[in-house]
Chain A
């Protein structure tokens, strides 16, 4: 059963520390999304990649957040330095987006980040 895998599931860190969240998209999917979920803002799109190339990261605070896809099986979202307001659940999702095919987004279980 193919699924998106995110690690870690939970992360508690102190303000100022670096946080790295990892995502393994479904094999064969060419689009990867990073979302942040909070009670106040709901689901916010932070960044997305197509064929490993970053297409849009306008949803991310540029000074502290960075997203990369070192290879087709790994996407990372890094926060440095972390702040309490970054506390949220971060979701990775993947999908297949071609000219004539567009699957739905498949979500991982999320990383719950708490910055104290």
Chain B
């Protein structure tokens, strides 16, 4: 079945540091890939997405590139802020029985210190 593996956290960084959160996936089809962010006490919000190989999703300074050859979708940001502290989820959406079903990784907690 489909699965998503992402690096365990927490990831602790100082403000303005470079961020990478690794994500790899296994899928039977040709999935779309997503990064979601969850702030304390809230639901998941879409951060960025990519629907085909070599697509780059970007939003709020975050980027991720769909790498089909390495089945990866790593999240990067050049300079993190304290307000980026949250839990980040990598996900894929693959067709199953006529519907697209999201499958999520375990989440990676990011803590950014001033």
Contacts and interface: CB of A to CB of B under 8 A. Distances in A.
Contacts of B101: 33, 45, 48, 56
A108 B104 contact: no
Interface residues of B, number: 23
Interface of B: 32, 34, 36, 41-46, 49, 89, 93, 97-107
A114 B82 CA distance: 31
Contact of A104 (B42, B49, B98, B99): B49
Counting chain A CB atoms within 10 Å of each CB, the highest count among B93, B97, B100 belongs to B100
Contacts of B97: 55-56
Interface of A: 4, 31, 33, 35, 42-43, 45, 48, 50, 55-56, 91, 93, 95, 97, 102, 104-110
Contacts of B46: 104, 106
Given A42-B106, A91-B44, 4 more contacts: A43-B107, A55-B99, A104-B49, A110-B42
Contacts, number: 56
Contact of A33 (B34, B102, B106): B102
Given A91-B44, A109-B43, A110-B43, A104 B93 contact: yes
B43 A107 contact: yes
Given A42-B106, A43-B104, A108 B43 contact: yes
